[in-house]
Amino acid sequence: MSNNMSGEASDEPYAAGPTAGLEGRDLEDRPEARTILESRDLSVFYGEEQALQSIDMEIPEKRVTAMIGPSGCGKSTYLRCINRMNDLIDVARVEGEMLFNGKDVYDDDVDPVALRRRIGMVFQQPNPFPKSIYDNVAYGLRLQDNTENLDEKVENALKKAALWDEVKDRLDESGLDLSGGQQQRLCIARAIAVDPEVVLMDEPASALDPVATSQIEDLIAEMAEEYTVVIVTHNMQQAARISDKTAVFLTGGELVEFDDTDKVFENPESDRVEDYITGKFG
């Protein structure tokens, strides 16, 4: 199922309707998901400052997991541990384990570049390359020498990113000429073109207008049919709308609650989480 480059993808309902995903996620009729990512006693330090405090968390496969909490509480740091983007920060030091399919991504024999092919990332600011729409999506496939049926692969990725209909007649135009929301969907197409297992998203809609935000939210809900999505958002309504699981981080890099999204928003265990989601602080 994770390899959906066979052409079947064109029949998938990736062109989500305007309200898809907004009615809340329905977990009832789906089998229990297995754990794809698991952190054990994961701590991160920037120099002397500890940004994450011994985090244990199991992230289910093919679900949307949202990470919420006030600014500076370690959400992006956690996200960056998953595909070792923290390696790029000199002062960052990681302790504990981050297991991906049972294997610690920090083991010596893990190649971070290969890891990032399996765990893609979409950032807050859309960042298409200054290349054509086609070349943006084909980029990772060409790096991998995975260019057989390239046109079809590019088309499928753009369809999955709900962008195909808007760009199919202008694939040679620059990705930078697209609107902000289209650029972000292009970045999503670029991330999923190489058929990753996990897509990490760091506030992917916070630079977008409400219509573009709603399109991205619809898309994320659709993506969980095929990928594991882990999203950082400062927007609690967004987390409530699109995620299956929610992790609440609070000040000091503490994971205070992690549970089904409905449970976290309707009946949190922790008073601190209740105060946070009802707006009493944060």
Q: What is the DSSP letter of 232?
A: E
Residue among 76 and 213 whose Cβ is closer to ligand ADP: 76
Which of 48, 71, 145, 169 binds ligand ADP (CB under 6 A)? It is: 71
Q: Per CB under 6 A, does 89 bind ligand ADP?
A: yes
Instruction: Tell me the residue length of the chain.
Output: 282
Residue 144 Cβ vs ligand ADP, minimum distance, rounded to whole Å = 29
Q: Per CB under 6 A, does 76 bind ligand ADP?
A: yes
CA distance 117 to 276: 35
Residue 79 Cβ vs ligand ADP, minimum distance, rounded to whole Å = 8
Encoded tokens for 183: 């650029």
Give residues with Cβ within 8 angstroms of 19, minimum separation 6: none
Question: Contact region for ligand ADP (CB under 6 A) — 69-77, 117-125, 138-146, 179-187?
Answer: 69-77
CA distance 254 to 69: 10
CA distance 124 to 128: 12
Q: What is the DSSP letter of 112?
A: H
3-state secondary structure of 162: coil
Place of tokens 């998953």: 82
Residue 182 Cβ vs ligand ADP, minimum distance, rounded to whole Å = 26
Q: Per CB under 6 A, does 73 bind ligand ADP?
A: yes
Which of 25, 75, 153, 272 binds ligand ADP (CB under 6 A)? It is: 75
Residue 78 Cβ vs ligand ADP, minimum distance, rounded to whole Å = 7
Which of 77, 83, 136, 214 binds ligand ADP (CB under 6 A)? It is: 77
3-state secondary structure of 44: strand
CA distance 180 to 186: 10
In the shown chain, the binding pattern of residues 22 to 61 toward ligand ADP, with x for contact by CB under 6 A and - for none, equals ------------------------x----x----------
Question: Contact region for ligand ADP (CB under 6 A) — 17-25, 65-73, 128-136, 218-226?
Answer: 65-73
> Which H or E run contains 98?
strand 92-100
Q: Rule CB under 6 A: which residues touch ligand ADP?
A: 46, 51, 69, 71-77, 89, 91
